[in-house]
Amino acid sequence: MKQWIYIANWKMNVTPKMAIGWYANIDDIQNTIKDYQAYCIICPSFVCIPLLSHHISPDTICLGGQDCSIYASGAYTGEVDAYSLQQVGCHYCIVGHYERRSLFGETDADVTQKIQNLYAANIIPIVCIGTVQKELATIYTLLSHQLHFLSLVPAGASLYIAYEPVYAIGTNNIPLTPELKEIFDWLRRYVAHQAPTIQVYFIYGGSVHPNTIGELKSIPGIDGFLIGSASNSWVSLKKIIIG
Ligand code: PEP
């Protein structure tokens, strides 16, 4: 059985009270993850992370941040640094999500700095890339710009790359299977050429739901999924894992 990776991006949709509600399902969560050999990473809001890390062991579910500061420490009101994430139990952290890029002005240079801070804190980055454009040649040009950071990833490190076409985020509109197959083929070849010593996992994100997961799991080249809205409740995340 293939070990799929499921990354739940809870965004600002799951409050601490709602996160506590997840404990009620802990037996079912543990059994499902074991039965389906799933590898699950939950990325809650910063304030939920210590709460979850006290109750859920990394053997069952690993925790990740949704972002981190470009700064390592200091007088930066409101920021959360990579070392702090590591201290509260994060093994992973999303960076470069389209919402950070489009709503908060995050640049490729910021993403690169965050990736370096995460490796320094012993956290594996989950780097989101993706474009508004739909034409393949344009997609490849833009993705290769977003992947400039590859040359700075330490040799032998692990890295997650989440390809998220912008039009698929939160829309229920996934790309056609042949197109995704082609893009993941290109990504694998490009990354192997640019960074042959890195252990990379290739993730798809954008409208992953119980009704789209079957088709998505048939696409070679995809190791796992970054899931937004459908990851907020255990009921729908479970349907995705068993789907
Ligand atoms: C996302 O925002 O990363 C995402 C994949 O969202 P959704 O699953 O809701 O499309």
Q: Using one digit for the tens of pLDDT, what is the confidence trace for 178-190? A: 999 999 999 999 9
Compute CA distances 117 → 28, 44, 71, 120, whole Å.
35, 20, 8, 5
Q: Which atom of ligand 1 is nearest to the CA of 171?
A: 10
97 Cα to the center of ligand 1, angstroms: 10
| Tokens coding 171 | 């829309």
190 Cα to the center of ligand 1, angstroms: 24
Model pLDDT, residue 58: 85
Length of the chain: 243
Residues of the chain with pLDDT below 70 are none
Q: Using one digit for the tens of pLDDT, what is the confidence trace for 24-53? A: 899 999 999 999 999 999 999 999 999 999
Strand partners for 93: 65, 125
Q: How many CA atoms lie within 13 A of 239 on its CB side?
A: 12
| Tokens coding 167 | 């039009």
Q: Are 124 and 43 in contact (CB under 8 A)?
A: no
Share of the chain above pLDDT 70, in %: 100
The DSSP line for 15-31 is -HHHHHHGGGGHHHHHH
Quote the CA–CA distance of 4 and 2 in Å, as a whole number.
Answer: 6
| Tokens coding 165 | 């076409």
**Mean pLDDT value across the chain:** 96
- Which one from 164, 182, 209, 215 is the annotated catalytic residue? 164
Model pLDDT, residue 56: 85
Q: Using one digit for the tens of pLDDT, what is the confidence trace for 108-123? A: 999 999 999 999 999 9
Q: Judge residue 2's burial from the number of C-beta atoms within 10 Å of its C-beta, 0-12 exposed, 13-18 middle, 19 or more buried.
A: exposed
| Tokens coding 131 | 């474009």
Query: Which bin fits 130, alpha (ψ -120 to 50), beta or left (φ > 0)?
Result: left
Closest Cα to atom 4 of ligand 1: 228
Quote the CA–CA distance of 174 and 72 in Å, as a whole number.
Answer: 37
Radius of gyration over every alpha carbon of the chain, rounded to an integer in angstroms: 17
At which residue do the structure tokens 């799951």 appear?
Answer: 14
Assign 202 to helix, strand or coil. strand
Model pLDDT, residue 75: 98
Strand partners for 7: 41, 226
Q: Which atom of ligand 1 is nearest to the CA of 97?
A: 3
